[in-house]
Structure 1
């Protein structure tokens, strides 16, 4: 579970479009769904566009794991932070990822701390 979470966060931090797309294909199933309070997307193309939009909104910021992932069966939950590299996080949330044969099939995202 730790490895898939590490790979997932790396996807969100990959800014090169070709490398990000390749990582999405490796980490997510073809029909994967991602839903959080700000977006609901399905499939590699929409996931890629959603991540690119988040990167454009927060240029130079990075996603970091906060704490240890907690997983059982084919699901894992974990807390993440988003902020400028080397600085305190500005956004904190947690995601629940459901795996399908070792890749992510569904992600439910929640935001715990957002800027005013």
Structure 2
């Protein structure tokens, strides 16, 4: 069974940080339930295919951006967890920050909730290359 921290990291890098749709789809098949739901401030997306699609739309808005966790994943009873992160262009200050919160079932993501955390701390280190 995949642990919550690994699911959070693979979602951040392999789904929302991945520019290649085929690779994104492969990761989604491994970490999401078929009926998973993704909720973010602008909408709710149901099903693995729709999550892959909207992740591609989001990625296309800033294809050069990298996601960097700013704290270790926090896990509740191997059923839920959250990861705080920043995103931006490599070598520059982060452009925005967020928190992913997931609920898992049988070692896969059943639901993911994205919260934008406002502007990153101006003293945050640059995004790694």
What TM-score, normalized to structure 1?
0.91
CA RMSD of aligned residues (A): 1.5
Q: How many Å apart are 1:35 and its aligned residue?
A: 0.3
Please say if residues 35 and 108 of structure 1, whose CA atoms lie closer than 8 Å, have aligned partners that are also in contact: yes
Hey, what does 1:102 align to over in structure 2?
107
Greater fraction of residues in strand? 1
Secondary structure of 1:67 counterpart: coil
- Answer yes or no: is 1:92 the counterpart of 2:92: no
Q: Give 1:5's aligned residue.
A: 8
Q: Distance in 2 between matches of 1:85 and 1:31?
A: 34
SS at match of 2:26: helix
Whole-Å separation in 2 of the counterparts to 1:20 and 1:68? 23
Gap runs ≥5 in structure 2: 121-129
Instruction: Please say if 1:60 is aligned against 2:64.
Output: yes
CA radius of gyration, larger in = 2
**How far did 1:87 drift?**
2.3
Q: Is this contact kept in 2: 1:67–1:78, CA < 8 A?
A: yes
- Tell me the TM-score normalized by structure 2: 0.83
Aligned to 1:24: 28
Q: Distance in 1 between matches of 2:24 and 2:37?
A: 17
Structure 1 unaligned segments of length 5 or more: list them: none
1:19-55 deviation per Cα after TM superposition (whole angstroms, max 9, x unaligned) = 1101111111100000010231011111011101111
Q: 1:114 to 1:54 in 2, by over 3 A?
A: farther
Q: Distance in 2 between matches of 1:87 and 1:2?
A: 26
